[in-house]
Amino acid sequence: MSYNHLGALPVYKKALELCQISREIASYVSFNKDLLKLYQSNSLRDVIADSLLTDAILIPKKIALAESTGSHTERIKSATYINIMIGNISSYCNGLEKDGVKEKEYLNLLREEIKSFRKSFKKWRSSFPDGGSYWN
């Protein structure tokens, strides 16, 4: 699969947008501003921010994997994994809120981005050869 084809996929574009907003929020809410070292922090907020960032980064990678494989099983595995990551990101929003992030409007922006991604994700998933019936 060429990168041009991948970049034209609405679900991939949405995944990159989700990744971008997750990166911005992780940077904003974390105490340790070096995002590459968040995992070393003892702060719960930094650990959540690191997890948010990690899961958001994995979503476009899984979409690329699903698009590049001819295996129906691999596509299903990637889509299932993405579904789990989206659930995790929603949970991280709740965790950040409970940890005292006062700027809830930023978390709500991320939640809205998740909703938007999910719509695109469902359309993409239904394009699988079985019509996405695995999830119906």
Chain segment 86-109, per-residue pLDDT in tens? 999 999 999 999 999 998 999 999
Separation CA 15–CA 9 (nearest Å): 10
The predicted pLDDT at position 133 comes to: 52
Which pLDDT score, from 0 to 100, does residue 135 have?
A: 47
Q: Residue 64, Cα to own-chain centre: how many angstroms?
A: 13
The pair of structure tokens assigned to 134 is 């695995």
Cβ(47)–Cβ(31) under 8 Å? no
What are the residues whose beta carbons fall under 8 Å from the beta carbon of 32, sequence distance 6 or more? 38, 40, 41, 43, 46
CA pair distance 32, 14, nearest whole angstrom: 27
The string of pLDDT tens digits covering residues 112-126 is 999 999 999 999 999
Query: Which of the listed CATH numbers 1.10.600, 3.40.50, 1.10.20, 1.20.1440 matches domain 3-126?
Result: 1.20.1440
Residue 15 is predicted with a pLDDT of 97
Share above pLDDT 90 across residues of the chain, in percent, rounded to a whole number: 67
- Which residue numbers in the chain have pLDDT < 70? 1-4, 32, 130-136
